[in-house]
Amino acid sequence: MNKFNTQRRFALGARGFSLVEVIVVTGIAVTLFSVILAMQFTATQTRVFTQERDIAREAATARLEEVTGSNFATLQATYDGIDFAVPGLVSSVPGEEVGTVVVDTATAPASAELIRVTVQMRWRSKAANGAPSTFELSTLVANREVQ
């Protein structure tokens, strides 16, 4: 009879996993799956944010290149306070465009031959569930006609 009990015990042990083992493995699997999903979500949000930032940077750079290539004497009258749309971005302020050009002669160094030009961008970020995002790019424009 002792021989029969030993065989039966080995047969029962070979049937599968215990409940504790199944719960531990399930917990580990759920934790890993949750971490992978969180990483995927974060990566997607970062990609969208980076794309929006790149669109804003390219639009601001293009606008600054346009401003710096224009006539220095009429720079402030032509560009100061000009708003412009940026394809791919939605304004964070209803009724306004995403980009604004600010021409500021007061903050330039003590020289009448330099003007600070700033391009400000304000949009609603898809990456942050519509939260406002900003980007600003500035440069000093010199009067190239002075001799």
Do the domain assignments include residue 14? yes
Do the domain assignments include residue 9? yes
> In angstroms, rounded to a whole number, what is the distance separating the alpha carbons of residues 120 and 60?
8
pLDDT for 94 equals 86
What's the pLDDT tens digit per position in 105-129?
776 555 667 889 999 999 999 888 8
Do the domain assignments include residue 80? yes
Of 59, 50, 138, 70, nearest to 97 by C-alpha is: 59
Which 3 state secondary structure label does DSSP give 19?
helix
Do the domain assignments include residue 147? no
pLDDT for 9 equals 53
Of 96, 97, 89, nearest to 127 by C-alpha is: 89
pLDDT for 112 equals 66
Do the domain assignments include residue 124? yes
Would residue 5 be called left, alpha or beta, if left means φ above 0 and alpha means ψ between -120 and 50 degrees? alpha
Q: Domain total for the chain?
A: 1
> In angstroms, rounded to a whole number, what is the distance separating the alpha carbons of residues 70 and 143?
10
> In angstroms, rounded to a whole number, what is the distance separating the alpha carbons of residues 75 and 33?
57
> In angstroms, rounded to a whole number, what is the distance separating the alpha carbons of residues 57 and 123?
12
pLDDT for 127 equals 83
- Residue ranges in the chain modelled with pLDDT below 70: 1-14, 107-112, 146-147
What is the pTM (predicted TM-score) of this model?
A: 0.73
pLDDT for 93 equals 84
pLDDT for 21 equals 93
Terminal CA-CA length for the chain? 115
> In angstroms, rounded to a whole number, what is the distance separating the alpha carbons of residues 1 and 133?
79
Give counts: helices (H), strands (E), the chain.
Answer: 3, 5
Domain range for residue 67?
Answer: 2-142
